[in-house]
Amino acid sequence: MKENDLQDRAKKIDYILKKTYVDAKCALDFKNPLELLVSTILSAQCTDKRVNLVTPAVFKKYKTAKDYAQANVHEFQTLIRSTGFYQNKTKNILGAMKVIDERHDGKVPQALDELVKLPGIGRKTANVILGNAFGTAGIVVDTHMLRLSHRMGLTKNHDPVKVEFDLMKLIPKREWTMFSHRMIHHGRAICVARKPLCSKCPVEMLCPKIGVKVHA
């Protein structure tokens, strides 16, 4: 398919999803960039619902980057244990906060190239932070986005970074963040990993159903 035709399909898909998921937004609860950074790292291999149950106690105890940097490792692990992989998440969160405290005056950096230098922060997490905390457009390629973009024939790549760049060519920049929210919502509600609800899908007529298997 020619790129112009693919762009047309992608824009039509986004238009329909925009009408379908009018309230699409980040499912993580946060009040500032620091809280979003913590929540996003905790959300790895964990549901947003579980993260939102855990973070109130975390945010009450730790207010600043320095608070996290100086946190007792065992106490922090206890607070986040139920999110899974708590040891690695503790290492990443406390490590990232130490860098933020020492090199960024306690503030989450607003540039992608600086964010990805922090422990536990890849392009996906960085784009979540940039798009939702700072209003900087970015496409978030999580397991839902990866699965849906293949099923919809929007990419042939499997590497998340390559998929991100493929989608950047198809979707207007102003829509990148919201397109991500809509696709993720659609992946959770209709286009699920196993037995997608195609008969209920508002974009079924635009989906080639290429059947590429992507682990969710």
Tens of pLDDT, residue by residue over 193-208, are 999 999 999 999 998 8
Question: What is the rounded CA–CA span in Å between residue 76 and residue 206?
Answer: 46
Tens of pLDDT, residue by residue over 15-49, are 999 999 999 999 999 999 999 999 999 999 999 99
Question: What is the rounded CA–CA span in Å between residue 180 and residue 139?
Answer: 6
Burial 6-44 (b: 16+ CB within 10 A, else e): bbebbeebbebbeebbeebebbbebeebbbbbbbbbbbb
CATH 1.10.1670.10-classified regions of the chain: 3-25+139-206
Active site residues: 124, 142
* Assigned architecture for domain 3-25+139-206: Orthogonal Bundle (1.10)
Kindly state which CATH superfamily the domain 33-133 is placed in: Hypothetical protein; domain 2 (1.10.340.30)
Tens of pLDDT, residue by residue over 147-189, are 999 999 999 999 999 999 999 999 999 999 999 999 999 999 9
CATH 1.10.340.30-classified regions of the chain: 33-133
Structure-block tokens of residue 64: 């600043």
Q: Average the pLDDT over 49-65 and give the result.
A: 98
Whether residue 89 has pLDDT greater than 80: yes
Give this prediction's pTM: 0.90
